[in-house]
Amino acid sequence: MAQLRNVAIVGFAQLPVVARDEHRTATEMLYPAVRQALEQCGVGRDDIDYQIAGSTDYMDGRPFGFVAALESMGSWPPREDLHLEMDGIFCAYYAWLRMQAGYCDTALVVAHGKVSEGEPRRVSNLQMDPYYHAPLGIDATASSALQASMFMARTGVSDRDLARVAARNRKHGASNPDNQLRSAVSAEELQNTPFVVEPLRAGYLPPVGETATCLILAAEGKAERLCDRPVWIHGVEHRSELQTLGARDLSRSAGAKLASEKALAMAGLDRADQVDFAELAATNPAEEMVLCEALGLDPFGTRPVLNPSGGPLCADPIMSTGLIRLGEAFRQLSGRAGERAVSGAERALVHGQQGHCLQTNIVWICGTKRRWS
Amino acid sequence: MAFTAPPDDAVKYVESLVWLPYHYVAGDYRAVYLRALKDKRILGSRCDKTGKVFVPPVINSPESFAPCSEIVEVSDCGTITTFCIVNIPVIGRNLELPYVAASVVLDGADIPIFALIQECRPEEVHMGMRVEAVWKPDGERQGDHEDILHFRPTSRPRSGEWPRPL
């Protein structure tokens, strides 16, 4: 692996995830998150070179809804700005790439979306093609259920196993004050919740939630000045798969597997279980198990710790869900995770996704030390 | 059977109507602004750092990035800073053509709002012209932007400071 520029996460802020913020619009929610992240770094808005936002107009219900974010991000004098209709974790990747190319040294990465204002199920249906899939009424929960059924049939994973994975997430999530669900629930209780779309039960799915998030990236030289304990990027890779659900084996995530192999190689690691914890953007336990298989992680193991934040099951604010995973890696590895801190953690694997059934995956490896000297 | 062209009775298009309902949150700043229109009052917010007043109120100054914590009332009378004469019908409004759309800085504000100018001939409109809001009658105002029917020329003098340039 060629030597790359050392880039670090130096700040992260989010609003606690709620079902519906009645007092603020999407971009008004963004403002305090951006301010908090900048204050963490002890700098003003003018000290950041580049900005990039992740949001979706379908969720906002207005074309070019993201341009309103320019006002909440302090875009005066005029900034170099980019927007992605993707989770903020992909925005972080763009910012990282620009730093590798030498275009900027610092970047503000934000994600926002008032999920409660629209109907996310309808929006996820419109992600499908309009000829064959969308008219069937398939939404993200239904496609996830197709994936879960295939995975369970192939592997013999049981309903009880799904409940155990969900319960582990809920247990971890109970000590994360930013989560929407903050109570530990036993596997038995979760297994007794009704099916939403079989085999997925209400207890295996996150509630609709919203937030705003802001992550700050900085290259070596600047990073040390912005943060006492920068969290360095050791590797990153993303892979997209086919859209047509029938064209791929839904019970496996070839994209996550390949992305993680490449990211681990960039980080100089052989296997995913060489990290201390992993944050996976899986929105139900079956999807998490598909990911674990692809990455080579044990969903019932004790190390690496899986989803110390509680994972998306405890808070799934669309557009921010992935960026929060990266934010959790920063909090854990920079000593900001409070009582949910993973002891002795030095390296993390972070996963983000977009689309139905893990269509697009991104995998990051982060650590407390610089990757390249 | 291989075919090289679609049959005459092929499905030529698929009609797919997208129906996406939204329930927007006004936000506290917009809510207080819209509510005040019912009482014929126009509110803005003042930047903590520069003192500039934004109408309608915003939570932070897009210019200085500082919060705008203080809600202030501005006049319903202001000055035209720029305008255009519209000769084509506008979507959603039934207006007699031509009409004037203008940028009006209300007295006490530092940012213009957009306003329909009526009760004068389009050629009489000029930059620097004084205009005032014409409100819907009492009892008919709903707390939305339609509560101001339009702006019209006025001889009311400017009150307070001349708007500082943005």
Q: How close does chain A come to B12, measured CA to CA in Å?
A: 12
Angstroms from B105 CA to nearest CA on chain A = 20
A99: left (phi over 0), alpha (psi -120 to 50) or beta: alpha
Q: Is the pLDDT assigned to residue B6 strictly greater than 90?
A: no
User: B94-97: long-range contacts (C-beta < 8 A, 24 or more apart)?
Assistant: none
pLDDT tens profile A61-96? 988 888 999 999 999 999 999 999 999 999 999 999
**Residue of B20, B28, B69 to mutate when probing chain A, most A C-beta within 10 A:** B20
- Residues B76-133: pLDDT tens digits? 999 999 999 999 988 888 889 999 999 999 999 999 999 999 999 999 999 999 999 9
Contact between A6 and A371 (Cβ < 8 Å): yes
User: Binning pLDDT at 50, 70 and 90, where does residue A340 land?
Assistant: very high
**Interface contact flag, A61 B28, Cβ < 8 Å:** no
| A21 reaches B (C-beta below 8 A) | yes
What is this model's ipTM? 0.90
**Residue B58's closest chain A neighbor by CA?**
A28
Comparing A3 with A88, which gets the higher pLDDT? A88
Do the Cβ atoms of B27 and A24 come within 8 Å?
yes
Q: 3-state class of B110 per DSSP?
A: coil
Average pLDDT of the segment spanning B4-16: 81
Which residue carries 């919203």 as its tokens? A210
Which residues touch A158 (CB under 8 Å, ≥6 apart)?
A152
Cis peptide preceding A299, ω within 30 of 0:
no
Q: How confident is the model at residue B166 (pLDDT cuts 50, 70, 90)?
A: very low
In this complex, the residue of A25, A28, A118 whose CB is nearest that of residue B20 is A118
* Cα-based angle A83, A88, A89 (whole degrees, multiple of 5): 130
Contact indicator for B119, B73 with CB cutoff of 8 Å: no
Three-state DSSP at B106 gives strand
Q: Does A131 touch chain B (CB under 8 A)?
A: yes
Q: Residue A79: its chain B contacts at CB < 8 A?
A: none
When pLDDT is cut at 50, 70 and 90, the band that residue B16 belongs to is: confident
* Res B161 pLDDT > 90: no
> Rounded to a whole number, what is the distance in Å from the CA of B121 to chain A's nearest CA?
35
- Give chain B positions within 8 Å (CB) of A125: none
A51: alpha, beta or left? (left if phi > 0; alpha if psi -120 to 50): beta
Q: What are A255's two structure tokens?
A: 């994209």
Kindly list the residues from chain B whose CB atom is less than 8 angstroms away from the CB atom of residue A114.
25
- pLDDT, residue B160, reads 64
B27:A122 CB<8 A: no
Cis peptide, bond prior to residue A177, ω within 30 of zero = no
The widest CA-to-CA distance across chain B, in whole angstroms, is 84
Searching chain B, which residue's CA lies closest to the CA of residue A59? B22
The total number of residues shown for chain A amounts to 373
Map tokens 């949150």 to a residue.
Answer: B25
Contact with chain B for residue A116, Cβ under 8 A? yes
Q: Give A112-164 pLDDT, tens digit per residue.
A: 999 999 999 999 999 998 888 898 999 999 999 999 999 999 999 999 999 99
CA distances (Å), origin B113, targets A153, A162, B55, B90, B129:
62, 55, 7, 18, 15
* Interface touch A135/B22, C-beta < 8 Å: no
Q: How many CB atoms lie within 10 A of CB B124?
A: 10
Q: What is the CA radius of gyration of chain B?
A: 22
The residue of chain A with its CA nearest to that of B16 is A130
CA A146 to CA A249: how far, in whole Å? 11
Q: Which residues of B touch A (CB under 8 A)?
A: 14, 16, 18-30, 58-60, 62-65
Kindly list the residues from chain B whose CB atom is less than 8 angstroms away from the CB atom of residue A22. Answer: 25
For residue A343, give both structure tokens.
């002891």
φ/ψ (deg, to 5) at A28: -65, -35
From A176's Cα to the closest Cα of chain B, the distance in A is 27
Give the span between the Cα atoms of A114 and B24, in whole angstroms: 9
Burial grade of B166 (CB within 10 A; 0-12, 13-18, 19 or more): exposed
Q: What is the pLDDT of residue B94?
A: 85
pLDDT in tens, B57-70: 999 999 999 999 99
Residues of B in contact with A121 (CB under 8 A): none
A118 at interface of B, judged by CB pairs closer than 8 A: yes
Give the separation between CA B151 and CA B154, rounded to whole angstroms.
9
Instruction: Please report which helix (H) or strand (E) contains residue A172, including its range.
Output: helix A159-173
Nearest-CB residue to A117 (from B24, B29, B63): B24
**Cβ of A243 under 8 Å from any chain B Cβ?**
no
Phi, psi (rounded to 5 degrees) for A114: -95, 90
DSSP state of A246: G
